[in-house]
């Protein structure tokens, strides 16, 4: 089993890291390590995180960074469909309509 990022999720993640680099390069490196590790751990523990507010998905909360990794467990992979800021109005997000899922 592998972890795959959707294009939209990967773009959001890279934008976040780029933003952090501008503020604090050390924090950006720590964020990259911790978020990458959290995503990689989904392979070993795909059901460890709560069911998401979106049907058929799960969400991993990254408290330190105030982010959510929203993912789908598939037969051969974990698909990360969204990388979201946990402080935004999540009820207003339609992952299918907003082009996150593929």
- Angle at which helices 25-41 and 7-23 cross, to 10°: 150
The answer as to whether 42 is a domain residue is: yes
Q: What is the structure's pLDDT at 89?
A: 85
- Domain of residue 35: give its range: 2-89
Encoded tokens for 40: 């990689």
Average pLDDT over all residues of the chain: 92
Percent of the chain with pLDDT over 90: 82
* CB contact at 8 A, 78 and 69: no
SS3 59: strand
The answer as to whether 97 is a domain residue is: no
Which residue would you say has higher pLDDT here, 57 or 90?
A: 57
The answer as to whether 72 is a domain residue is: yes
Encoded tokens for 54: 């979106």
User: Total domain count for the chain?
Assistant: 1
| pLDDT over 70 at 101, yes or no | no
Least confident of 25-29, 76-80, 82-86, 89-93: 89-93
Say which CATH number the domain at 47 has: 3.30.2310.20
Q: Residue 13: pLDDT band by 50, 70, 90 thresholds?
A: very high
């Amino acid at each position: 089993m592998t972890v795959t990022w959707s294009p939209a999720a990967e773009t959001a993640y890279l934008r976040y890291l780029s933003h952090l680099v501008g503020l604090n390069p050390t924090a950006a490196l720590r964020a990259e390590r911790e978020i990458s590790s959290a995503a990689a751990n989904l392979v070993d523990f795909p059901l460890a995180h709560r069911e998401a507010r979106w049907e058929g998905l799960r969400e991993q909360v990254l408290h330190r960074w105030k982010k959510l990794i929203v993912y789908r467990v598939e037969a051969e992979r974990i698909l990360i469909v969204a990388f979201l800021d946990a402080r935004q109005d999540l009820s207003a997000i339609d992952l299918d309509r907003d082009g996150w899922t593929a």
